[in-house]
Amino acid sequence: MGPRPIWCMGRPGAGKSTLAAATQAWYSRRRVRAAVVDADLMRQGPMIDLQYSDADRYDNVVRLAMFASVLRYLGVVAIVAAVTPSKRLRAVATRLCDPVWVWLRGRSRPLWPGTEFDDDVQADLVLDTEAMGITECVDRVDRVVRA
């Protein structure tokens, strides 16, 4: 079994996909197998059947978490990039794959229905992506994962 998946959550445009890609590249340079599970990309392929209703958002998180669990079983570091705004969605992801939660707070696009975050977000790491560079963000992710 591999390390816990890393779940990058935040509003649209906060830098989730950017951080996931940079973290995956960092691991690859160290010869650690890692894969990005990007919710936006998954919706264009294996999850093309899902829309943005509450039920579809729930199914999306379930599928992302299951995919991350399979990667973990195979010894691959799964790095998920998904908005995941509600406590209910984070609870199901936690139950299915027990990720390291990384909340990206920073510049983002205007919210649309279903992307508003709960007031009491719990995360293993909070990153201000507007104030921090990508290298510092990746370094902090690594420190939390190794802790």
Give the pLDDT confidence of 38-61 residue by residue, as tens digits.
987 766 666 566 666 777 888 889
Q: What is the pTM (predicted TM-score) of this model? A: 0.89
- What letter represents residue 81's amino acid? A
Q: What is the rounded CA–CA span in Å between residue 126 and residue 1?
A: 26
Which of 69, 62, 22, 5 has the alpha carbon at shortest distance from 39?
62
Output the pLDDT for position 48.
64
**Residue ranges covered by each domain of the chain:** 6-146
State the fold for domain 6-146: Rossmann fold (3.40.50)
- What letter represents residue 79's amino acid? I
Q: Where are the beta strands (DSSP E) in the chain?
A: 6-10, 34-38, 77-81, 100-105, 125-128
Q: What is the rounded CA–CA span in Å between residue 22 and residue 36?
A: 10
pLDDT digits (tens, 9 = 90+) for 68-91: 999 999 999 999 999 888 899 999
pLDDT digits (tens, 9 = 90+) for 91-119: 999 999 999 999 998 766 556 666 666 66
